Amino acid sequence: MNANQNQRILYAFFENEVQLPILDITHPLFNACIDEQAYHLSCLKSARSIESLKKMPSFIRNIFVKMSNVDNSYLSGMRTLLYKLGPELSRGIKLGFRDKWAVKQTSFMGLRIRLRDHCRRQSEILLPQLKQFPERNLCFFNIAGGAATDSINTLILIQESDPELLKGRKIEIDILDIDTSGPNFAKRCINVLKQPGERFHGLDITLNSIHYDWSQPKALEKMSLERSGWIQLCLSEGGLFEYGSDSDIIENLNHFYTNSPADARVTGSLIFDRAHVNPGYLGFTEFIGVQIRYLGMEGLQRILTQTSWVLEESHEIDTIYILFSLKKG
């Protein structure tokens, strides 16, 4: 990749022939939409802001809730992708008023920071494995993966670190999701990135969309067995650990553990518990009706006692998000 290529914005078709940018966390316009000091200050002010919202007349509050674009008590994968793109990369997209408003909000900057830091951690985990085992294939099991921006960008970071590590091996991204629009867009992104002159040209990368209900995780055990000998990473950013029940999380972890190799990893994001989460975030999610899990580290540790996984590393983002990785005990 030369400097000019790295400045370009690549696009893939979404539904109805709409083109959307392919999210690349190394692109200057992505990084231009992250101001960690501004985000930190926004988090500090958010507690006061939510108190003001609660005092608004009900009809204004209802308008605000509609602007927040929450459907079925969660943000859809494609809407989350839009907010991760940020105001610069999404500048050329025709957006409705609500999305135009939301994509500019500093509060959604946390999604971009979370994605960036999650991909960095995953590349740190995978780089030594890829160097040590050049003969092994690589597989991502991405639970509630949507458009798989985390898996795709982890590959981008690995390629930028050492492009030889991805050559000559099969690479598979399996999106385990009940949604289809996000995975379909992810497939188109991979196809564009594999074109001559683009990042993934010449690489053996396959993206599979697999209908998956995390309350019935037996399929994960089978898929892991079918990729015996592969480097395996199971991940869920903004998914299982932020919305799933304790039993769902435990069952998914245990089913993945059964057939995965000794060096398999699990990575994910969760929210601080209610006692320690940013009060503005807590108030905002309750205000707009998001059914988030305030799991916290104590909750994760409680869950891990019912599995054979152990906490390897954790990383906090402004008393809202916690990123973590698990290894086999």
Q: Do 195 and 295 reside in the same domain of the chain?
A: yes
Q: Do 200 and 299 reside in the same domain of the chain?
A: yes
Whether 91 has a pLDDT exceeding 90, the answer reads no
Q: Where are the beta strands (DSSP E) in 138-259?
A: 138-143, 170-177, 204-211, 231-236
Number of domains in the chain: 2
Q: Do 144 and 67 reside in the same domain of the chain?
A: no
Considering 69, 85, 110, which residue would you say is the last residue of a domain? 110
Q: Do 224 and 268 reside in the same domain of the chain?
A: yes
Q: Do 169 and 88 reside in the same domain of the chain?
A: no
Whether 49 has a pLDDT exceeding 70, the answer reads no
Question: Which residues, other chains included, contact 114 with Cβ-Cβ below 8 Å and sequence gap of 6+?
Answer: 237, 238, 269, 317, 321, 323
Which segment of 101-105, 263-267, 313-317 scores lowest on mean pLDDT?
Answer: 101-105
Would strands 231-236 and 265-271 be described as parallel, antiparallel, or unpaired? parallel
Q: Are 22 and 12 in contact (CB under 8 A)?
A: yes
- CATH number of the CATH domain containing 313: 3.40.50.150
Give the C-alpha separation, 288 to 50, whole Å. 11
Q: Do 179 and 246 reside in the same domain of the chain?
A: yes
Q: pTM for the whole thing?
A: 0.90
Considering 53, 77, 110, which residue would you say is the last residue of a domain? 110
CA 294 to chain centre: 17
Mean pLDDT of the chain: 89
Residue 299 is part of which domain span? 114-328
Q: Do 183 and 84 reside in the same domain of the chain?
A: no
Burial of 35 per CB tally in 10 Å (0-12, 13-18, 19+): middle
> 190-199 long-range CB contacts below 8 Å, 24 or more apart?
190/152, 191/12, 192/10, 192/11, 192/12, 192/22, 193/10, 193/22, 193/152, 197/5, 198/5, 198/10, 199/1, 199/156, 199/159
pLDDT, tens digit (0-9, with 9 covering 90-100), for 146-204: 999 999 999 999 999 999 999 999 999 999 999 999 999 999 999 999 999 999 999 99
Cα torsion through 47, 48, 54, 56, rounded to 10: -150
Q: Do 201 and 56 reside in the same domain of the chain?
A: no
Closest C-alpha among 142, 180, 169, 192 to residue 24: 192
Q: Do 104 and 126 reside in the same domain of the chain?
A: no
Question: Rounded to the nearest 5°, which phi and psi values hold at 311?
Answer: -70, 125
Closest C-alpha among 202, 119, 128, 201 to residue 162: 128
Q: Do 147 and 206 reside in the same domain of the chain?
A: yes
Residue 219 has a pLDDT of 95
Q: Do 62 and 177 reside in the same domain of the chain?
A: no
246-259 and 218-226 helices, crossing angle to 10°: 20
Residue 325 has a pLDDT of 98
The amino acid occupying position 218 is K
pLDDT, tens digit (0-9, with 9 covering 90-100), for 122-131: 999 999 999 9
Residue 279 has a pLDDT of 86
Closest C-alpha among 94, 88, 148 to residue 122: 148
CA 232 to chain centre: 17
Return the H-helix or E-strand segment holding 276. none
Q: Do 25 and 166 reside in the same domain of the chain?
A: no
Closest C-alpha among 113, 143, 116, 118 to residue 324: 118
* 3 state SS of 234: strand
Give the C-alpha separation, 233 to 294, whole Å. 24
Strand partners, 271: 321
Considering 46, 75, 110, which residue would you say is the last residue of a domain? 110
Whether 327 has a pLDDT exceeding 90, the answer reads yes
Q: What angle do CA 148, 149, 153 make, to 5 degrees?
A: 120
Question: Rounded to the nearest 5°, which phi and psi values hold at 140?
Answer: -105, 125
